[in-house]
Amino acid sequence: MKIPLLYQRTEYDCGPTSLLNAFSFLFDLEDFPPDILRHLMICTLDSYNEKGEAYKNGTSNLAMSFIAGWLNEYAKATKFPVRAELFTGRDVYISEGSQILKALGAGGAAVVRVFLDCAHFVTLTGLSEEGVELFDPYYRNTPFSTKEIKMIDNKPFSANRLVAFEHFNREDKISYAFGPVNDRVAVILYNTNTCRKPEINV
């Protein structure tokens, strides 16, 4: 059984929430091991803010890198059907042939660092002719002023935003842009029992 995706509970937990949403999108509730849940929560939300306050600067790129490696080791040891791929810097982009589009076309999900007033993690889940569908764990009920970002209100199991393809690649710090190249990170996740060949060419 699939379950609706989650909204974050604080101003800071977009990272762990987006990872959990990727698993909810890829796996049925009955198939999701509690040890993965425990590890995701322990190993993310690791950053300190400028005042030295614990966990109030969200999740670091280093934590995302560690989680990707740990998930692959976990899959190897337990035969759980997950595969993680980590991409950083110039390898994080949206265009024809990009790893993110290939993954979404194959039924995978991508947890990516974007901007939403500050650094923020969201879960990319699908493709349409207009752009990329994603689930943003930060709750919002008002439309965006730009036509490149649209609200989705009828897909609680997969998406609440639709963002134009080219919008992601911008290097300035605007909503849902990947931003400066050196800060980019993406963790692509697959359910190896259900992934398929890409269906949409962009």
pLDDT tens digits, one per residue of 87-100 = 999 999 999 889 99
Amino acid at 122: V
**DSSP states of the chain:** --------SSSSTHHHHHHHHHHHHHS-GGG--HHHHHHHHHHSS----TT--TTTT---HHHHHHHHHHHHHHHHHH--SEEEEEEEGGG---STT-HHHHHHHTT-EEEEEEESSSEEEEEEEEE-SS-EEEE-SS---S--SSTTEEEEEEETTTEEEEE-GGGGG--S--TT---SGGG-EEEEEEETTT--------
- CA neighbor of 125 nearest in space, from 98, 93, 91, 162: 162
User: For residue 200, what pLDDT band results from cuts at 50, 70 and 90?
Assistant: very low
- Structural domains in the chain plus CATH codes: 14-191 (3.90.70.10)
pLDDT at 199 over 80: no
Going by pLDDT thresholds of 50, 70 and 90, the confidence category of residue 201 is: very low
Six token digits for residue 3: 């379950």
pLDDT at 49: 86
Q: What integer pLDDT is reported at residue 197 of this predicted model? A: 60
| Tens digits of residue pLDDT in 106-162 | 999 999 999 998 999 999 999 999 999 999 999 999 999 999 999 999 999 999 999
d(CA 158, CA 171): 26
pLDDT at 202 exceeding the cut of 50: no
